[in-house]
Structure 1
Amino acid sequence: MGLKCRFHWLSRFWFRRFSLPKRTLLVALACVVYLCFAMSDVDFPLQNRTGEKLGVRSVRPKEDVLVPTRSNVVYITLKYKRLKPANIRGTIRPKLRRKARRITHEHQESTNGKRPHAQRDSNQPDSRSKRADSPESSIRIYSRTAPPWLSAQDVATMRVLAGAKVVRVHGNTTSRPLLILGEESQNRTHLCRGPCGIVHAPVDSVEVFAFHLDRVLGLNRTLPAVSRKLVFLHGGQPSPVVSWEPSLYPDDDSTVRLTWGDYQRSLKQRCWVKNVAPKPASSCSTIHHYEWSKVALFDFLLQIHNRLDPSCCGFRPRQQDACYKSGRHLECADHDGIQLANIAHTERDPRHLVLTVNKGYFDRNEDNLDFRLLEGIKELPELSVSLLRSGRLREKLLQSLFLDKTYWESRGGRLGIDKLIDVIEKRAKVLLTYANAHGIKMVPMSE
């Protein structure tokens, strides 16, 4: 009853308060407002569903482009996944990655009781499924070919060391354990019949840098090395893994026994130059004369003293250095009798050295460099010196080191790698100045 009274009162107020034209205008205005709200509710979903037709841009992954300050190499990192890699000079994402992911997906379906989409012939080996069980290699090559200073065998060995399945580990973690890689059937009766690698401590990451520097300089005297994370060694930290060379380790036949005095006398006799056999009474070893020039240049740039200067006679050692702890620096009083170390060659090639245990130092100050490594050297390899003079060492080292993703990231990316190359470039200038002051010749060394 009350509701009817209120309605009767409102209707009387409406007709007395407003005339007919005003009432008509208010009704029309109310209808317009109602239509505006109705159209806005319909319009927004249509715009969202047809955003492309109305000119709304879709969001694409961003690209961070890092342009080297002193080279022509461009390195690209993607925040989102790309279906097609960017065209980068000197480097293309391996095509095996997408296949490996697809095979892993099929393997998961088969384990869940689902039938794979395709069946392989049972007589053919399923190499793809074997690869799917192995970790993905961290070697990245973003071009059709690798850099020219790396051979096809180098790249193949790097991929195996970085991503092949670990069958077992020989040795213990206190020394340098040997990784047996590949398939169990290949290494069942032999220590290392298939591919193998020696794991160094994480602090010896310079082994990876040394390998790439050796190849860039055109020396080709080190064994391939990569950085790899192993959950069962060193707490999963990135560790250098160096390719195993069987003929270097079974016995001492591949080790050259030389004292510092014998080494200096052999330099004067220019052993095996022009394939002339040395006299039996000479101080010559089986090593060709040019090998010492290559070692001296390589060791000076990295300040590796444990080969030609194992007693630290050419610089001021720190208390934490091994030669200081063992007291070997006291042997410098009789320097001619100091025994050289890590002078090795393979059984099939006794004329050329194999540079192992490349423990270099980037924190050695320029006023404490080991110039003893250059003592007695009268020639340097022309190809290597021309690269140092050209100013392209940084460009090539960046291209080469970028291939090893694990090492690149463990050193702090481009910024960290640049700092390491800064050290090498400064030492290269010192080396060139020393060579010019001492009249050292640049000689083609194809041997």
Structure 2
Amino acid sequence: MEKHLVRPGMRAHTLVLLTCFSFWRFLRSLWRSSRSRRALLLAFACLLYLFCLELWIIRGDHDRNLTEGRRWMLERIPGSPSPTRSNVVYITLKTKKHKPSILRATLRPKSRRKKARNVKNQSREADHHHGEETLRHAESRDPWRQALHSFYKPRQLSDDDENTGSSIRIYSQKSPPWLSQADIDTMRFLSKCRIGRVEVLEPENASPMLLFKSGRGFNRSSAHTGECDGRCGVIKRPEDISEVFAFHLDRILGLNRSLVTISRRFRALDGQLCPVTLFDPSVVTVAESSSGSLRWSSYQTWLQYRCWQRGVPKPEWSCGSLHHHEWSKVTLFDFLLQNHQRLDRNCCGFRPRPQDSCVQLGYHRDCGHEDKLELSHIVHRKNDPRRLVYVNNHAFFDRDEENLDFRLLEGIKELPEVAVSVLRSQRLRQNLLQSLFVDEQFWENQGGRRGIDKLIDVIERRARVLLRYINAHGINIITMNS
């Protein structure tokens, strides 16, 4: 049995020895041949080696191309696994450059001018109608809109069992100096008040929101049904949480034009963190008081005449009720946030994305017609018509420095000294960290100190761009009364 087990190994070993011995004898016989024959054999061996090497390289390229082809196919198959990055970038400062979207119609055959104009008008109306249908269809599937319309009971949003205290934290003896005591009191009220009644609001050119009224803030004896006595708030979409950042930035810059905004969670809204803003019933749009819409051409005319800066304006200037300095303040504020929805609703100063509302509704195609450009969210208080009130202060942190909206600064010749001094003093980061720390819910939702630092990085970069713009265009820095 041992012989049977060893025999295959011995046979293989003997075969290898015989093969090596035979090959060695063959080489000796070749070496003893003539020189010409040896040279011919060496050349043949070299050619054989090169041929094998070429086959090996071709096979490697073929396998590599096959792998890339499979990867290309997998990337285009919906639902197929694709490699993902292990680290998640919170804010993209340098996004990929995209060419501007071609929004105008394609080339049309030449025809008579009247027919071409009719075709152009029909195409614009069709595109506008299609854009409204697309946006309306998207809004019908909006989970936030569906959640709001589900509140048909007055006390359905009551969260008495979940709201145990205020999320506004101040550990030092004094609050940040840019936040007044009224701001602190309002922030604490909005973060822990008990909700008595809820109403759904759907303002024009804005997302739907909830108006809640605390049990003590609803004045039943008021002549206006449902009027609040400073104890009401507005709950907005979770996507609008950047308005909390905008409120703190407004206070730090010394503008003091934004309504108090904090962040708060509601169990009835699936525990989502939503921005909550103080409701002010005295705020009305400027268009309502002037009986007409505010257009870009009128706005530029007001900037040219400096309305109310040099006393009572002349009647032929057609000035509105707002003071000239208010436009300088809001442009600085909107440029840092890149909030185009107030002064550049048509997205004429930057490259919009296809999913932006200005593209879907066809506003972007009107950039060449200044008589059609309108301003939005321009509001003031009834008892203070000279000053703006900042509402819907969305911050767009994902817009890189190569796609900033400089149209917001068009026509501006001076900026407020207090705000510019904060940008130049290198204290913006420190002040924002100290101020945003007060709102515990917002701080934790953004990832703590690390996430807040990334937001501030974006604002600091835009502040440096704004300071270079001021020096390059000779913008005057003047003192503006609050």
TM-score when scaled to structure 1?
0.67
* Mapped partners of 2:451, 2:285: distance in 1: 38
**Of 157, 162, 175, the match for 2:208:** 175
The equivalent position to 2:295 in structure 1, one of 256, 259, 262, is: 259
Q: Work out which of the residue numbers 256, 259, 267 in structure 2 matches 1:220.
A: 256
Residue 373 of structure 2 is aligned to residue 344 of structure 1: no
Distance, in Å, in 1 between the alignment partners of 2:167 and 2:409 is: 37
Matching of residues 429-444 of structure 1 within 5 Å: 429-444=464-479
Does residue 298 of the first structure (1) align with residue 333 of the second (2)?
yes
Code of the residue aligned with 2:243 in structure 1: it is E
User: For each residue in 1:115-146, what CA deviation from the matched residue of structure 2 results, as whole angstroms up to 9, or x when unmatched?
Assistant: xxxxxxxxxxxxxxxx9996311000112221
Note the alpha carbon deviations across 1:164-215, whole angstroms, 9 max, x for none.
Answer: 1111211179721101124387458741434111111001111100000000
Alignment of 1:38-437 (within 5 A): 135-171=164-200, 175-183=208-216, 186=219, 190-194=225-229, 195-233=231-269, 235-248=270-283, 253=288, 257-274=293-310, 276-437=311-472
Q: Which residue of 2 aligns with 1:445?
A: 480
Q: CA–CA distance in 2 between the matches of 1:368 and 1:419?
A: 19
Deviation at 1:252, TM superposition (A): 6.1
CA deviations over 1:271-309 (Å, ceiling 9, x no partner)? 1114x0101110311000000000000000000001110
> C-alpha distance in 1, partners of 2:397/2:285?
32
Check the 8 A contact 1:180/1:192 in 2, yes or no. Answer: no
Contact 1:379 1:441 in 2 (8 A): yes
The answer to whether the 8 A contact 1:139-1:158 is kept is: yes
Please say if residues 139 and 404 of structure 1, whose CA atoms lie closer than 8 Å, have aligned partners that are also in contact.
Answer: yes
Q: Which one scores higher on RCO, CA 8 angstroms, separation ≥ 6?
A: 2
Q: Separation in 2 of the partners of 1:251 and 1:304?
A: 19
CA 1:192/1:435 → structure 2, altered by over 3 Å: closer, same or farther? Answer: same
- Residue number in structure 1 paired with 2:85: none
Q: Any idea what SS the aligned residue of 1:171 has?
A: strand
> Could you give the per-residue CA deviations for residues 5-44 of structure 1, whole angstroms, max 9, x where no partner exists?
xxxxxxxxxxxxxxxxxxxxxxxxxxxxxxxxxxxxxxxx
Normalised TM-score (structure 2): 0.62
Instruction: Please give the secondary structure, in 2, of the residue aligned with 1:273.
Output: coil
Distance in structure 1 (CA, Å) of the matches to 2:247 and 2:369: 33
User: Alignment partner of 1:281: what SS?
Assistant: helix
Following superposition, the deviation at residue 365 of structure 1 comes to 1.0
Q: Distance in 2 between matches of 1:343 and 1:269?
A: 19
1:198 and 1:431 map into 2 onto residues whose CA distance is 32
SS at match of 1:178: strand
Question: What CA distance in whole angstroms lies between the structure 2 residues aligned with 1:150 and 1:254?
Answer: 31
CA–CA distance in structure 2, aligned partners of residues 187 and 249 of structure 1: 22
Runs of 5+ in structure 1 lacking a partner? 1-130
The Cα of 1:222 is off from its aligned counterpart by 0.4
> How large is the RMSD of aligned CA atoms in angstroms?
2.2
Asked if the contact 1:254–1:344 (Cα under 8 Å) also holds between the matched residues in 2, the reply is: no
